[in-house]
Amino acid sequence: MDDQRPRIEAWLRSLAGPDDHPRRFTENLRILHPGSMEWLLESDDFTRWADNPGLALFCYGMAASGKSVLTASIVNELQKRHETDSTVGIAYVYITYSLAEYSKYARQLLCSILLQFSLRRQPLPEALTSLYADMTHHGREPRVEEIVQTIISTGRSYTKAFIIIDGLDQLGLDTQFDFPLAIATLHTKLRANIFATSRNESDFSYLLKNRDSTNSITLQMLTEESKLRDYVEEELRNLTHNKPGLLKKELQQQIIDQIVAHARGNFLIASQLIKILKSKSADPEQFVTMLQYPPQRLPRASNYHLNLDRIFDTTVERINSHPPKARELIFKAFLWTINVRKPLTTQALLHAITVDIGDKELDQYGLPRVEDVISLSLGLLTAQNDRVLCHRMIAKYLKEQVDKFFVDPDRLISDTCITYLNFEKLQSAPCVTKPQFEDQCRDYPLYNYAAKNWGHHARKASGVSPLTVEFLKSPRQPAVNFQAIQFSDDKEITELRGVTGLHLAAYFGLVDAVAQILEQKVFEAMVTDSLGRTPLWWAAKYGNELIAKVLLPHDTCTWHYMVRNGENGLARFILDAGQDVNMMDFWKLTALHVSAENTNAELAAILIAANAETETQDIHGITPLQKALNQLGLCGHGSPEFEIRRNFVDVLLKACPDTAKISVDGWRTAFSKHDSKTSTLVLSTNQHENGLVLRFTSGTPQYLLSIDENTERSLFHLDMSAWKWQEALQGGTRMPTEFKLKLGSNPNSQGDHFQIFLLEVDQEHWRYFISAAAQLADTNDTRKTTLWWNVMRDKSNNVDRWISRQHISNMSRVWIPKDGIDFFQRFIQELQERWLETCQSKQDELEHLRNTILETHKKKEDMNITSSLLQIGKDTIRFRNILQLQGEKAKLFSEEYHRKHGGVSSLKDLEGSIDNFTKATSQELNKLDEVSKDLLQMEFNLISIYEARKSTDLSSSMARLSWITFIFLPLTFISGLFGMNVDILESNPPWWWYFPFAGGIMTITFFAWMVSRWGMANDRLLGKKDLIG
């Protein structure tokens, strides 16, 4: 174990950072005047705190009131008391404002406390050795909570543990919570005695979880003039060997009086004046002359700042008397000390003040010494732990002086950094690995700061520097620069190529530079890096809203990229910057469509809150809600994925989208509720009517027959055959006389194609039932579209109106109607769709008959086709009569309903829908008529042509047969006689008798042929008459 001690201590010291606490303690102890802090050390409060474990002692006071000296005196007192007592642990830390913004500073402070506690233990505490072994094994640094636990384990080996903290008010944003909470844990679990100082009493609130008088003591730091005078006298005695003039008692007394008078109880002013007097060039008599002007009689808080400014004015006047080169050097040092975002190392500062704008390489031989810089500053700067620093109050004063000396300090820093980054050696050999980057930082100490921060200074500068624009326009330098940014600190290094100057300008927020680059068209606004990220994405990632506003008009792809990748925070950012939430991509997809694809409910809520349109259709006519339902239907009911996608659908429904565009089958398929007889689809408003709720219930909604004024507005979709609605009308149906609708009919009648029933429950409540039929497309049956809704009178808020809440239907769509007129209007539209579907079916049937007609002359099926065409004609006449009846009844009902109940919906729109229904359907029926007539005419024409062709063929055949039978054969017979044996004809008439004989036969043959032709023509004519009849 002992052989590991040096290694463990070295490891812990590296975690604790610069061991500046002993030096700060020594410096403050040195200026401690004997007896100046006895007011606390000899008080009962201090004794109580030092003797009782678990107490906290807090001391607050104005800046430079001596709190750090008080801290040193307490540490010194405790060390004296327990010098030989190894059972008492003492640890102290001085918080340094220049390091307080460092993200690891809280861990460094705690490691310093652990180190001080562990050094007094022999052997090293087991908890520390275990922590070292664990961290070494895993190759990482300990977390804050692990360090705190190790301090607790180590501190428990002491009978008492004291933790002294100076300067809580100097904690930065990254440490102002972590460190105090860690100390609070040590106070609670270790019962450590805590001492802390701060300018504000409120800073102590984080150190104790339950702060009260039993566990804490709070004191205010007040400086007495006598103690300040003693301090000044002691300092002057130490100066007499370097400043012989101070041996003069009268001069010495004048200096003491002037310092005390100007300081007015402020140790900082006194120490700064003494520091000026200590400088080699300071003359005591001139110093007294400088302080001759008496302090103004102002309130204390304002007066001491004026005193300090007066002292610093004199110092700056002396600096201005330096040679120009030296004066510029020291003001550059001021500039780089007070304007940087993070304190520079000594070497980085020397590089920064040596570089001239436009240099190609650093002049190593021109680097000044840090001692020279400190000397030229006349005490305004100090060197501590490889840093050149100045007090915060001095920095505030110097900031004003630097702004006077340099026209634009931030531009000077930015251009200096760019010049540094442009050095040939840094550009010619870009880093590939982090060790290479660390080597470059050793050779060029300003490289790390310049790469990370030049853009931040350029953003604060007035206007954009030409050097900045040229740097960003370079095809190589921005990528090398960002690679260096990635290598810095503890950021994860990713292989990233394609970084342009536009990306880098977006990263730093350089608005004017981005505008110039876009104007000059150096890069396209949507240029991407190797990960597909645009400058707009970079602007959103790094929180540069002004850049986003500049890039948004030129970028049409980043928005969907963020949404598709689920980068909700970035999407929200550019929405706030002015992104059009409804912007479409090439496929007309909006961000809400994409979020539906990814089932990103959180993003959908963000988009809806930004007024995203829920009705927008993509290139295929799909809305976000339809897409979400399609996604829902792809996963198994009851699975985790189903619940996630169901939640997304609920988010969309809260935006009250138009659900009428989605079919009932679509809803049932998505939710795996296919049987309409066992599950009823219910769409309703939620309690506050700022969204929709979809659910499925079992059974029949008999309870809807009761009317409740508090019932939510809802629509039930169910199989009307499964609900015996007729029973609700029997025995109670009556037609009020003032509601003159002559539309009623028997609700059990199946032949009526339009039925309207209404039941007046009382004067304040009405119930309506409407049913209309359209013939099914593929059968001779009819299907009924049915509505049922309740109407009640509402007289709240001094407004008399009728409202409808409960709605029932079997239509193919579900939605929440605004009122009865809206419900009825959708009913008419649904009825129109069904009529048009029927007409289209008939059109398809006629098209089939058309094709059949063109082929039937071969199959001899003419009579069947004609009958089918005549039947369609009869159906068309019947359809037109039904349509006329439905249109008339619909108009009459709408007028009477609006007269009785009114409503928010427009009666004119409803009547327009009815007219459109009758007109569109009539047009389709007219088309059926025209097509039927055309097909009948075509059939008759084809039959005529066919018969004519048959007649022509028969005539030709008969003509050939007649010539053969009646002319050719007789003539052959007669001519044959001439060829017979003449002996046979000896006893017959003479040969010339054969001529009359042949003539007679020819005459008989002619008359026989004419008779046969007349008979065929008569039969054919009689057949055509029968066909026509």
CA pseudo-torsion sign 927, 928, 934, 935? positive
Among 295-299, 418-422, 701-705, name the one with the lowest average pLDDT: 295-299
Residues in the chain: 1029
- Are the C-beta atoms of residues 357 and 467 closer than 8 Å to each other? yes
Rounded to whole angstroms, the Cα distance separating 141 from 895 reads 82
Rounded to whole angstroms, the Cα distance separating 564 from 79 reads 64
Range 757-785 burial, b when 16+ CB lie within 10 A, else e? bbbbeeeebbbbbbbbbbbebeeeebebb
Q: How is residue 193 written in tokens?
A: 């005695």
pLDDT per residue over 269-293, tens digit each?
777 777 777 766 667 777 777 666 5
Is 500 exposed, middle or buried, given 0-12, 13-18 or 19+ CB atoms closer than 10 A? Answer: buried
Give the ranges where 717-819 is alpha helix by DSSP (H): 725-729
Average pLDDT over the chain reads: 79
Rounded to whole angstroms, the Cα distance separating 533 from 572 reads 17
Nearest to 229 by CA among 276, 268, 261, 251: 261
Q: Is the confidence at residue 802, as pLDDT, over 90?
A: no
For residue 364, the SS3 value is: helix
pLDDT at 554: 93
User: pTM surpassing 0.75?
Assistant: no
| Helix or strand run (H / E) with residue 911 | helix 907-962
Nearest to 283 by CA among 243, 331, 230: 243
Rounded to whole angstroms, the Cα distance separating 441 from 348 reads 9
Mean pLDDT of 585-589: 89
Q: Give the start-end residues of each E strand in 552-678.
A: none
For residue 526, the SS3 value is: coil
Q: Is the confidence at residue 728, as pLDDT, over 60?
A: no
Q: How is residue 47 written in tokens?
A: 């004794």
Q: How is residue 717 written in tokens?
A: 């979709």
pLDDT at 743: 39
Q: Which of 255-258's residues contact partners 24+ apart within 8 Å by CB, and which partners?
A: 255/284, 255/287, 255/288, 255/291, 256/229, 256/232, 258/288, 258/291, 258/292
Distances, alpha carbon 506 to alpha carbons 363, 456, 517, 551, 910, in Å: 33, 11, 11, 9, 55
Rounded to whole angstroms, the Cα distance separating 597 from 603 reads 12
Give the ranges where 279-345 is alpha helix by DSSP (H): 284-290, 300-320, 324-338
Rounded to whole angstroms, the Cα distance separating 354 from 344 reads 14
Is 986 exposed, middle or buried, given 0-12, 13-18 or 19+ CB atoms closer than 10 A? Answer: exposed
Distances, alpha carbon 211 to alpha carbons 166, 202, 204, in Å: 19, 11, 9
- Are the C-beta atoms of residues 838 and 772 closer than 8 Å to each other? no
ω into 466 cis (within 30 of 0)? no
Q: Is the confidence at residue 299, as pLDDT, over 50?
A: no
pLDDT at 264: 64
Residue whose pair of structure tokens reads 């042509």 in the numeric block? 945
Pairing of strands 714-717, 679-685: antiparallel
What percent of the chain has a predicted confidence (pLDDT) above 90?
22
pLDDT per residue over 196-239, tens digit each?
998 777 677 767 655 565 778 888 876 667 677 877 887 777 77
Rounded to whole angstroms, the Cα distance separating 890 from 855 reads 45
pLDDT per residue over 927-956, tens digit each?
888 888 888 787 777 777 766 666 665 555
Q: Is the confidence at residue 496, as pLDDT, over 60?
A: yes
Rounded to whole angstroms, the Cα distance separating 272 from 881 reads 109
Q: How is residue 214 written in tokens?
A: 């039993």
For 622, other C-beta atoms within 10 Å of its C-beta total 18
Residue whose pair of structure tokens reads 């929180």 in the numeric block? 543
pLDDT per residue over 961-1007, tens digit each?
555 555 556 666 655 555 544 454 455 566 566 667 667 777 776 77
Side-chain-side CA neighbours of 815 within 13 Å: the count stands at 21
For 482, other C-beta atoms within 10 Å of its C-beta total 19
Mean pLDDT of 910-932: 89
Is 472 exposed, middle or buried, given 0-12, 13-18 or 19+ CB atoms closer than 10 A? Answer: buried
Rounded to whole angstroms, the Cα distance separating 315 from 786 reads 96
234 vs 267, higher pLDDT: 234
- Are the C-beta atoms of residues 711 and 702 closer than 8 Å to each other? no
pLDDT band at 441 (very low <50, low <70, confident <90, very high): confident
